[in-house]
């Protein structure tokens, strides 16, 4: 048991873990930022999911798999909002 717990702390102290987490966060935040800038500068209403797919494509072109993962999470989040899944999940257990 102590070995498993120690392994978890090793992952927390590992620089590569934090670099991966930062890339995933950038992949998630990137499409959001592009959507905010693009929607303010143009008259087009592009679905948020399209920005996430663009982020996945950009991450793969850059060879940054974790950026693609973050953009994939953004795409799934946007789809969840579109179909009301996110509201249903957040209301579980609520009054």
- The string of pLDDT tens digits covering residues 34-44 is 999 998 788 88
**Higher-pLDDT residue of 66, 39:** 66
pTM of the model: 0.81
Do residues 30 and 71 touch, judged by C-beta distance below 8 A? yes
Q: Averaged over 63-67, what is the pLDDT?
A: 97
What pLDDT is attached to residue 71?
Answer: 98
24, two tokens: 């995933």
Q: Enumerate the domain spans of the chain.
A: 27-90
pLDDT of residue 49: 95
* Token pair in block for residue 2: 């102590």
State whether the Cα torsion 76-80-85-90 is positive or negative.
positive
């Amino acid at each position: 048991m102590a070995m498993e717990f120690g392994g978890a702390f090793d992952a927390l102290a590992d620089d590569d873990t934090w670099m991966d987490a930062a890339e995933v966060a950038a992949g998630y935040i990137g499409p959001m930022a592009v959507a905010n800038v693009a929607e303010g500068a143009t008259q087009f209403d592009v679905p948020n999911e399209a920005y996430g797919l663009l982020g996945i494509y950009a991450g793969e072109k850059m060879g940054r798999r974790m950026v693609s993962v973050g953009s994939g999470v953004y795409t799934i989040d946007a789809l969840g909002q579109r179909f009301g899944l996110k509201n249903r999940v957040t209301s579980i257990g609520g009054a």
